[in-house]
Chain A
Amino acid sequence: MSEFTLTLIKLAFLAVLWLFVIAAVGVIRADLFGSKAADRAARPRPERPSRAPKPPRAQRGGNAPTKLVVVQGERSGTVINLSDVPITIGRAPDATLVVTDDYASTRHARIYAQDGQWIVEDLGSTNGTYLGRTKVSRPMPIPPGVPVRIGKTVIELRK
């Protein structure tokens, strides 16, 4: 082996090592922003979320909320995309939004779409659900931007 060949081999190995790191970073990037391959793989499944927000939007002229944002509490910052699937909130592990909060009940409340509106319904919680300052005693429509308080968690619907 000549000195020159060995130098080339050395540089080639370092290049492969760095390509490996770059490929790994590429996978993280795809995880965050999506890649063509991942999109293709995902296409058959998330049809519901992509179609779901349409009915409310058609009726309310593009003003319908598209996501639920947690603005206060332990899970503050969490964003859930709204679809026609009801969102359940509570301490139960199978709830859509799990809140670990002593003031929330296991199945505290749920939010669902009806006739182009989003309705909040209290599921018989111990400490109650509040829409703005009113206690939710029967299913009530949520106007956009009005906070819904569940225990120590406050959520809002946003566009």
Chain B
Amino acid sequence: MTMTSIGEQIRARLPYQRRNAATLVLLIFAMVLTLSAFAEVGLARDGNVPAGLFVYGGGLVVLGLVAYAVQAKFAPYADPLLLPLAVALNGIGLAMIYRLDLDTSADRKVAAQAGRALIPDEANAPTQLMWTFVGIALFVAAVLIMRDTDRPDAKLSFTPKTAQRYTYLIGLSAIILLLLPIVPGIGAQINGARVWIRVAGFSVQPGEFAKLALVVFFAGYLVNKRQAMSLIGKKIGPFSIPRMRDLGPILIIWFFCLGVLFVQKDLGTALLYFGLFISMLYIATQRVSWVVIGVGLLAVGIFVATLLPFMGHVNQRIDIWQNPKPYFDGGCLLDSGRVVPVNPDTEIYKRFKEQGDGSPGFSACAELGGSYADSAQLMKGLFSLGEGGVLGTGLGQGEPWRTPLSFSDFIFDSLGEELGLTGLMALLLIYAIIVQRGFKTAVAARDPFLKLFAGGVSFVVALQVFVIVGGVTKLIPLTGLTTPFLSQGGSSLMANWILIAILVRMSHDARKPAPQAIQDEGMTQIVSTR
């Protein structure tokens, strides 16, 4: 059997069926997975099934079933895998955060009652449960609100395609969302990156939502201009450069976003947007030259950034990535390129400490005239991966909380310690399947805007996982991004659940049977347009 005939076989089956039973079975499987994760944490850590099993596990079961009921009723032809896979990741993340939230452990309660000093921990399982609730509620609301594209009957009809009408407004809102954290008063700097705003007592990361808005803008713009961009233009060798007036607006928005992100020192998000831009140009124009140009520009950009004096932190990131050891617990990169350790064992650190300096390492480095950085986080993350090995220590039996931010940026390393390589591979496969289903939706979609939209959001998930997982495993320089669905954080959960809702709606739209054409009777009068 040749490849073509397999391909034709596959295409011949294109009339999709409802797969609600498969969704339900997988969803129940995902819940079993979450509940057993909670049970394992409790059994290993405290010796009995934890009280959290009923609160957290029960909460997730109810939320998942509500989401299923809504999807089965209002988007019955939707892709069967998106919802259960997202629930599984969300559930495993919640179990891990519950495990890292030491306040939930029995030992800690005993210690607290005895009045002993406790290591502070920032992991917060109850808040994450609340955000999971909000996230799934948003998913349900989005699936309910969005209609199919061929049903613009109702007055309040809002389909994924509606966004195409507001391309430029949405592009503008992406910029505003990105600018919000710099605005004094509402912007907030947490963990060195200024990407947060404070609203009503919560800190929100607007960049997570800007990501979706930017996909819509690129899709809406490119759908109008793609033909002009791929056909009209100067040919330089094998590449064709589009006219400036076709490329201009998109370049302006893109440079603006990157500029904002460099000012905020949020390099991970900058990398994410760059990759999104390149991939959507590629999807829209079907020209490989864009990928070549994009990767080339990225290489030139990084090279230039390492030469510029005010981009020192880029240089340092790369240096830490290549050789993190001298930076452990604090290192100082001098202009000569030499790294002087300023960790708590060094004399200069102790001197500043005695003076009562709040951040002795930083001040010590300032005196030496270099730039300060700390690789302890990265290295501890790597240690915990090494501790995990192939099979892991088992949930609740490792010590992943030793890594700073083990519940957000480094949750992948925490999971690696307790689930091992075996578990991480499974998690990466779950991500891969979500992305594959997204691309499948893009291929099945009839409308070019929806194609670009679905392709763009799927690529965002893939690239985000690559940047953060590559970062914490030292494959690429570390840049802070959230791990979709796993990391602690409301903004990320909400944005990703909305993303899944959009894909669910689009996949229902693409997979449902075509409506019966009305002119089948052969009685239609043909009026010539000539």
Contacts and interface: CB of A to CB of B under 8 A. Distances in A.
Contact of A94 (B81, B150, B433, B436): B150
B156 interface: no
Contact of B80 (A14, A27, A96): A27
A133 to B, nearest CB: 21
Given A9-B394, A41-B17, A79-B12, A17 B423 contact: yes
Contact of B13 (A13, A34, A105): A34
Contacts of A19: 29
Interface in B1-47: 8-19, 21-22, 25-26, 29-30, 32-33, 36-37, 40, 43-44, 47
Given A13-B36, A21-B429, A67-B12, A88 B517 contact: yes
B191 interface: no
Given A18-B426, A24-B430, A86 B517 contact: yes
Contacts of A98: 446
A61 interface: no
A28 B44 contact: no
Nearest to B47: A1
Contacts of B84: 24
A123 B26 contact: no
A59 interface: no
A23 B26 contact: yes
A78 B12 CA distance: 10
Interface residues of A, number: 53
Q: B84, B430, B518, B529: which has the most chain A beta carbons within 10 Å?
A: B529
Contacts of A11: 391
Name B's interface SS: helix
Contacts of B22: 27, 30
A95 B519 CA distance: 10
A124 interface: yes
B513 to A, nearest CB: 8
B322 to A, nearest CB: 33
Contact of B18 (A21, A41, A78, A79): A41
B113 interface: no
Contacts of A96: 514, 517
Contacts of A105: 529
A30 B447 CA distance: 26
B19 A31 contact: yes
B38 to A, nearest CB: 11
A25 B231 CA distance: 39
B85 interface: yes
Contacts of B29: 19-20, 23
Contacts of A126: 529-530
B473 interface: no
A94 B512 CA distance: 13
Contacts of B9: 33
B17 to A, nearest CB: 5
Nearest to B8: A79
Given A21-B430, A96-B514, A32 B13 contact: yes
Contact of A31 (B16, B30, B40, B149): B16
A122 to B, nearest CB: 9
Interface stretch (B254-262, B368-376, B493-501, B520-528): B520-528
A20 B526 contact: no
Given A6-B44, A6-B397, A16 B33 contact: yes
A11 B15 CA distance: 40
B46 to A, nearest CB: 9
A10 interface: yes
A23 B426 contact: no
A59 B433 CA distance: 46
B392 A10 contact: yes
B37 A13 contact: yes
Interface of B: 8-19, 21-22, 25-26, 29-30, 32-33, 36-37, 40, 43-44, 47, 80-81, 84-85, 88, 149-150, 391-395, 397, 419-420, 422-423, 426, 429-430, 433, 436-437, 446-448, 514-515, 517-520, 522, 526-530
Given A1-B44, A23-B26, A24-B433, 8 more contacts: A28-B437, A42-B15, A67-B12, A85-B520, A88-B519, A94-B517, A94-B518, A95-B517
15 contacts: A1-B44, A10-B394, A10-B395, A13-B40, A13-B419, A16-B32, A20-B30, A24-B81, A93-B149, A93-B447, A95-B517, A96-B514, A110-B519, A112-B522, A124-B529
> Which 7 A-B pairs give the minimum distances between C-beta atoms?
A10-B394, A124-B528, A79-B11, A17-B426, A124-B526, A27-B22, A42-B17
Interface of A: 1, 6-7, 9-14, 16-21, 23-25, 27-28, 30-34, 37-38, 41-42, 46, 49, 67, 77-79, 81, 85-86, 88, 93-96, 98, 100, 105, 107, 110, 112, 123-126
